[in-house]
Structure 1
């Protein structure tokens, strides 16, 4: 390797020496996990390839932190292990040697394509030998420490936004339970001041003026794509928010005219009715969809409220038949769904509340994605 290639694209000021090429066997001791079922319950965490599993009364490492890396199954998700800990036999733990910074070693593990070192034709497998023979480039300990501290702080920021995001999702779920009546009841547990009338049950079909299906223009015809009409497929609809959607494609007027796709008016609800049933999205602008959707248009009352009420109902239906393979829902079955309906004024306040919650969830999700992308880019540019 040329000497000039042994330095990263971005570097902390004051460091100029080239990085040294070393095998992983020179920077870590790779240790094997063990079965824990003979141990008693205790305070020591047990980890597998998916993270924390349980707690026991003994540790494999009492005072040395390490990096966990999968031996079987998930190979490409290395993560930090803080002592004391125990790992199962599908998870190696790599203890940095005395001249290596733990956080730097963790980043070095993150920069390896471990899937390419899979040695099995079945369940993905990684050997100690494959890890030990992997080449890394390593700077001085001082530069390692600077890099380690930097990525440690970046990880803490990512974790902060992940926790905020998770808390908001849980809070929203809780409020959906409390601000809609339970089965057999006509008023919710929590209600805006000034509203006292009982809620009514209404079929969705009574609230919808028209329904519009979708279609997919030929993907091989460039004249149908890169237009100005947003086109949505089920994979673009997010799980945790009903007011945000990823729209990577837009069709042209020609694509619209020469396919089954149709323009859907603004303030409609696009409901996934095939694979992915249960997902839906409120859209305040005109759009078109694939054939996986039925769009509910000209909604009576507050469309945002109806969106949340329908989503809650569909999630309850899915929970009841949990374990069954639900491939879809017909338009007739969809329109027969009963929804709890308060006055239009109360609908509007509930719709505003949950749309604001969704906006907050989206904000933290976007920040989280941005930070994760920044970390990925910096791992590439600050390491060799």
Structure 2
């Protein structure tokens, strides 16, 4: 194939085959004078990153012997020969020299090569094929500069290179934008989950909607929920089987007989189920509310049904809030292998602060809106990543 499947209008000339030895130059120079330059590293997901910024990942070494490092001038590529197979290559677009480990290869390109175009080619499926073909080693595989210059690629005019590089830069910008908005909304949700529920013996939350002034009421869970032992009568099939961990309908679970389906509990909209696996996030297990519709769950889960008027979304977030539920579950569960079992009577005797249904609705709607925004940004981000993957496959050859 002489040309890619997708091109910008106005470009018809065939792409030319180029060897890397024609257009890259090794510019790695040891920092022998010990210049006080900032230390950088290259990661497979973030590219060039300051070790100060990434101290949690790398550990910042203020007293490191900088004479053992390589200098990276602006507009240079650098990569780790031992990790290039997982994408550890970066492009440094800064204005001041920096340094990287002497293990790194550092190179620049000729004037007729657009660095942005080459950068995105590195992220396409073409470069990994060259790495796989040329890397060497027995236990650990390496891809040194002498292997890089053996690679070949097809390249258009400089003008077309710039167009392609800019297009993928814009895609990356949009992906980063939605990722950032997603993370910001997650942080806001975490903050509001702490501030919109009473903490540390308080009777009201720190953040409250206008018009609500009454104290929240202390209620036993036995006043709010009852243990449900309602079994499936066989009329509900596996298409309505709910996976508690993800709160999704999942019908790929193998069930031997219809009779076995009758051992499943009915799990109605608004019911809660206890999932006892301990994790960093949920020390004693957790409750999950059914907010997707009527279905069934395995008999291994303890199911509880609301017995008073309630707001679906308020309880979705309240019952799953580790800050609120950890002490309650610490007192009402017992440890077993890798998980916790719920002691029903102990749980039902525990108390919980509850606002009016009207206030529940306000809180639930607000938190659910945040979740919808998180989902929206995540979905958009995923769509853009799929588009980028497709275009990388079809705009390079």
Q: Same fold (TM over 0.5)?
A: yes
The structural deviation recorded for 1:29 is: 4.0
Determine helix, strand or coil for the equivalent of 1:357: helix
- Distance in 1 between the 2:318 and 2:120 partners? 45
Aligned to 1:221: none
In the other structure, the counterpart of 2:144 is: 127
RMSD: 4.3
Q: Which residue of 1 aligns with 2:18?
A: 22
Paired residues for 1:1-384 under 5 Å:
5-29=1-25, 44=38, 46-49=40-43, 51=46, 52=49, 53-54=51-52, 60-66=71-77, 68=79, 71-72=82-83, 75-76=86-87, 78-83=89-94, 84=96, 85-88=98-101, 92-111=105-124, 112-113=127-128, 116=132, 126-202=143-219, 204=221, 206-210=223-227, 228-229=239-240, 231-232=242-243, 234=245, 237=246, 249=251, 258-259=260-261, 261-269=264-272, 272-274=275-277, 278=282, 280=288, 282-289=290-297, 295-298=303-306, 300=308, 301-313=310-322, 317=326, 327-332=338-343, 335=347, 339-384=352-397
Are the structure 2 counterparts of residues 366 and 348 from structure 1 closer, same or farther at C-alpha, using a change threshold of 3 Å?
A: same
Distance 2:3 2:111 in 1: 23
Deviations 1:279-330 (A, max 9, x none): 7464231244568865544364323212212322269849xx9xxxx93332
Distance 1:80 1:24 in 2: 17
TM-score (norm 1): 0.73
Contact kept, 8 Å, 1:302 with 1:347, in 2: the verdict is yes
Query: How far apart, in 2, do the equivalents of 1:291 and 1:24 lie?
Result: 62
Q: Which has the larger radius of gyration?
A: 2
Taking structure 1 as reference, are residues 21 and 203 closer, same or farther at Cα in structure 2, changes over 3 Å only? farther
How many residue pairs are counted as aligned between the two chains?
353
User: Which 5+ residue runs of structure 1 have no aligned equivalent?
Assistant: 215-224, 238-244
Looking at structure 2, the residues matched to 23 and 299 of structure 1 have their Cα atoms a distance apart, in angstroms, of 73
